[in-house]
Homo-oligomer: A and B are copies of this chain.
């Protein structure tokens, strides 16, 4: 009971995510959030909590709606196919929206004041989770034979995501999808022989 919400929570969260994606945690003001969501401040607070809580919910949405390409890629059949798909997914996402180039997981909070520390750590953890999933997948590939037994899964996972992060920085600087793709192709040529 009580008065019903006059806005869609998921729509507002999506709009807020867009702003954080573009401007980062610290670069985003409530004026920005109100403009993007069409929702007044007190309603944002009542629906999401404070700015940090809203950012963390935006991260959840990003993880499930946009940044899930790593978790999807590990379903592919070979380690190289997984690695390739991860970079393809990163490039596609980093260039999908012209107004929010790059990766929310990096743009959101790379460096900042102490106020942004919790957000920064949350993004670091999310990226580390992706790296762990990738490492486990590569480890499995070694037992299945499509990755050399002497390969270092942890380094390979870190390598692929380091490329992805570098591509995200370049995408934020305005690099075209074509240029990013050429870089990724070169990066994948370092993949160890099975």
- What is A's interface to B at a CB cutoff of 8 Å? 22-24, 26-29, 32, 102, 106-108, 110-113, 116, 124, 127-128, 152, 155-156, 158-159, 161-170, 172-175, 179, 182-183, 186-190
Contact = CB atoms under 8 A, between A and B. Distances in A.
Contacts of A170: 158, 161-162, 165
A117 B29 CA distance: 15
B22 A172 contact: no
Contacts of A106: 110, 169
Identical chains bound together, number: 2
A6 to B, nearest CB: 28
Nearest to A125: B173
11 contacts: A24-B26, A28-B113, A32-B113, A107-B111, A155-B182, A158-B183, A159-B183, A162-B167, A165-B166, A168-B169, A189-B190
Contacts of A29: 113
Contacts of A113: 23, 27-29, 32
Given A162-B167, A170-B162, A186 B156 contact: yes
